[in-house]
Every structure is written in C-alpha cells, then in structure tokens.
Amino acid sequence: MKKVAIIMGSDSDLPIVEKAFPVLREYGIPFEAHVFSAHRTPDEAAGFAAAAARQGFGVIIAAAGMAAHLAGALAAQTTLPVIGIPIGGAILDGMDALLATVQMPPGVPVATVGINGAANAAHLAAQILALSDPDLTGRMNDKREAMRAQVRKKDAALQEKLAQACE
Ligand code: RP5
C-alpha cells in the first residue's frame, strides 16, 4: 500500500497534527511524519515533495499556521494529491492559515480541510488511497456504518428523553 506523508511547519503544530495518526492507524495505512518549513527549511520541504512519489507516497498532508505556504510549496513540486491543514494561531484564529492554504492558483491545487482539521485530512487521504484499494474501501464503509449506528443511538436517546419530559 502507498504511504501517507504528514508534513508540519513546526513541532508546535504537532498537538493538532497528531489527531491524524490514529485515523490512519485504524485504517492500517502506513505513514511518516516530518517537520519541514516552507520558509525556514525550504530546500528540505521542496526536496521531500519532489521525491515523494518515488519514495512510495500516495498522498501528502501538509499542516502549517500563520502565512501557511507549506502545502502550496509542496504541491508545486509534485502531482501527488496534497491535503492542507490550516493550523489555528493565537492572533487570527487560523483564518490567516486557511486563506493562505486554500487560495492556490489554477493548476496547483491544495485540497484544504477546515482549520485544525487533522482527522478529516487523514480520512480524505484514506479515501484517495481507497480508489485503488478495495480492502481499504471496505474498511472505510465499515467505519461509516459504525458512525451511522452511533448517530441513530444518539437520536433514540434524545427521543426517549423528550418522551420522558412530556410524561
Ligand atoms: C508556521 O508558523 C508553523 O506551521 C507554525 O504553525 C507557526 C509557528 O511556528 P513556531 O514559531 O511555533 O515554530 O510556519
């Protein structure tokens, strides 16, 4: 199976980014995580992305905050799908990172999830890899069914509570 690369601009992003790890583990998807910065270590970031397809990666997830150019800088070096996670910061609550990540020029897209959306980035990476992996598709369908069952249970509990309130 192809690997997922998870790149973050700083180790300060890790508390958010690590929410992607259990999702990928649950689906049995191998991954690597690295700190490369578009601004502080641009050569390492670009070099990693340029070699990623040859190294067996199928998707790159890139997380950064503030002037979040990391996902775009990686996308510039590869035709692998790049998923951007805008990281929320103390000053603009992640709106800066969201706009910097999502507003890519035509031809070099970054599939951007919500601010701090690390878990969804992992789910989306899994969906991309599942296009060529029927077993993974099956595991994802099982997960969706479990989610549906959970919501149905919550609705049933709510109905019971409302019925009790009317008694
Ligand atoms: C971004 O600047 C990083 O992705 C991080 O979200 C933010 C702050 O980085 P540190 O100063 O904590 O290293 O490049």
For the chain (167 residues), the mean pLDDT of every run of 10, in chain order, is 97 98 98 98 98 98 98 98 97 97 98 98 98 97 97 98 93
Distance from the CA of 91 to the center of ligand 1, in angstroms? 12
pLDDT at residue 38, rounded to an integer: 98
Q: Dump pLDDT digits (tens) for 31-67.
A: 999 999 999 999 999 999 999 999 999 999 999 999 9
pLDDT at residue 74, rounded to an integer: 98
Pocket test for ligand 1, best of 8, 11, 13 (most atoms within 8 A of CB): 13
Fold of 3-132: Rossmann fold (3.40.50)
pLDDT at residue 167, rounded to an integer: 84
pLDDT at residue 14, rounded to an integer: 98
Q: Given the CA of residue 37, which atom of ligand 1 is nearest to it?
A: 14
| Domain segments of the chain as ranges | 3-132, 135-167
- The protein residue whose alpha carbon is closest to atom 5 in ligand 1 is 65
Type of residue numbered 43: D
CB of 121 shorter than 6 A to ligand 1: no
- The protein residue whose alpha carbon is closest to atom 14 in ligand 1 is 9
